[in-house]
């Protein structure tokens, strides 16, 4: 057991300043995010939690460079983010594994696009991450032959293999059953402690956020705003049924219901 590292002394990796994002949908203009200001430190696990529609996926798309801000800036290591890049990989809610590739080839997809590696190094690295997520024996399988939990593990390996600066996760566990999820929580925490990655996880599950995050940013909807940021000072590895965790989760839930009960 190790104490949760205090990452706030680390340098800032991702800096968001007054980020606003609007969409022009069929029902007119929607402000998905308004004035989001957040710092994510090197090696920090930030969990963003909020009800659905509060702009969590939009925020990740902006960080990934798949969408552009209307106002405000996003910087990674003091450089503006404006396009997708290998330094920010995304793990999506549904596994976006390619059905025409087997497990190993899927993990190799990002590695093959990374310059400066030999093919042997790429395969070695892919195998390393497949072993890390416990699927070393499945490299020849096709995605459709795996369970939902295994597919998400492959997706995790695929996102980790090119060694991104920041790992972005968009509700990666929400389609999984509770037992598989619990297993993945401990896997993620182990990988996080081992690799000291900077991770941003988006979820609508408050307990999950408290279980995984060094900090939990609570978002409120319409428009999406940061309502409050909680520091989670629990030792890792954390377990979902830990009473201390439940207490903290209740605190976050209370804060959320304050907002939801206010007439808007």
Partner 1 sequence: MKLPRPVIPTLVALAFFGGWEWLVSSGRVNDVLVPAPSQILQWFLEALKSGELLSATWVTMRRLIIGFAIGVSLGVPLGALSAQVRWIRDTIGVLALGLQTLPSVCWVPLALLWFGIREEAVLFVVVMGTIWAVVIAVQEAVLNVPPLFLRAAQTMGSNGWHLWSHVIFPAALPGVISGMKQGWAFAWRSLMAAEIFVVIVTGFGLGSLLNAGRELLRMDQVMGVMAVVMLVGLLADLIFFAPIERWLRRSRGLAR
Ligand X SMILES: Nc1ncnc2c1ncn2[C@@H]1O[C@H](COP(=O)(O)OP(=O)(O)O)[C@@H](O)[C@H]1O
Two tokens, residue 169? 């996760």
Two tokens, residue 71? 């106002």
Return d(Cα 219, Cα 211) in angstroms, integer.
17
Measured in whole angstroms, the distance separating CA 127 from the mean position of its chain's CA atoms is 22
Among 5, 15, 23, 77, binds ligand X (CB under 6 A): 23
Strand partners, 167: 89, 199
Return d(Cα 85, Cα 71) in angstroms, integer.
21
Among 57, 152, 198, 227, binds Mg ion (CB under 5 A): 57
> Which of ligand X, Mg ion, partner 1, none interacts with 243 (beta carbon under 5 to 8 A by kind)?
none
Question: Closest separation between CB of residue 115 and partner 1, Å?
Answer: 9
Backbone phi and psi for residue 76, each to the nearest 5 degrees, phi listed first = -115, 120
Two tokens, residue 101? 């590739």
- Residue in 260, 215, 213 with CA at minimum distance from that of residue 52: 260
Radius of gyration for the alpha carbons in the chain, expressed in angstroms and rounded: 18
Q: Does 220 bind Mg ion (CB under 5 A)?
A: no
Question: Closest separation between CB of residue 113 and partner 1, Å?
Answer: 4
Strand partners, 225: 220
Q: Does 165 bind partner 1 (CB under 8 A)?
A: no
Question: Closest separation between CB of residue 163 and ligand X, Å?
Answer: 26
Among 78, 100, 116, 243, binds partner 1 (CB under 8 A): 100
> Which of Mg ion, ligand X, partner 1, none interacts with 88 (beta carbon under 5 to 8 A by kind)?
partner 1
Interacting residues with ligand X (CB under 6 A):
23, 25, 30, 32, 52-58
Interacting residues with Mg ion (CB under 5 A):
57
Interacting residues with partner 1 (CB under 8 A):
61, 64-66, 84-86, 88-90, 92, 94, 96, 98-101, 109-110, 113-114, 142-145, 158, 162
């Amino acid at each position: 057991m190790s104490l949760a590292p205090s990452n706030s002394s680390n340098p800032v990796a991702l800096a968001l300043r007054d980020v606003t994002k609007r969409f022009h949908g069929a029902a007119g203009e929607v402000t998905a995010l308004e004035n989001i200001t957040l710092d994510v430190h090197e090696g920090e696990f930030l969990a963003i939690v909020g009800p659905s529609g509060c702009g969590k996926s939009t925020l990740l798309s902006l960080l990934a460079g798949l969408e552009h801000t209307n106002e405000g800036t996003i910087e990674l290591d003091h450089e503006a983010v404006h396009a997708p890049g290998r330094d920010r990989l995304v793990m999506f809610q549904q596994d976006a594994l390619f059905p025409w590739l087997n497990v190993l080839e899927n993990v190799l997809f990002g590695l093959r696009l990374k310059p400066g590696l030999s093919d042997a190094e790429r395969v070695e690295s892919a195998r390393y991450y497949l072993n890390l997520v416990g699927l070393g024996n499945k490299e020849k399988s096709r995605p459709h032959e795996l369970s939902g939990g295994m597919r998400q593990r492959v997706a995790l390996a695929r996102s980790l293999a090119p060694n991104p600066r920041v790992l972005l996760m968009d509700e990666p566990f929400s389609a999984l059953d509770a037992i598989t999820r619990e297993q993945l929580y401990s896997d993620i925490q182990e990988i996080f402690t081992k690799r000291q990655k900077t991770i941003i996880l988006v979820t609508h599950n408050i307990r999950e956020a408290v279980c995984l995050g060094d900090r939990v940013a609570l978002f409120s909807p319409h428009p999406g705003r940061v309502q409050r940021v909680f520091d989670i000072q629990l030792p890792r590895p954390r377990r979902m049924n830990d009473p201390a965790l439940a207490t903290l989760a209740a605190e976050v839930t209370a804060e959320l219901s304050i907002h939801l009960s206010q007439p808007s």
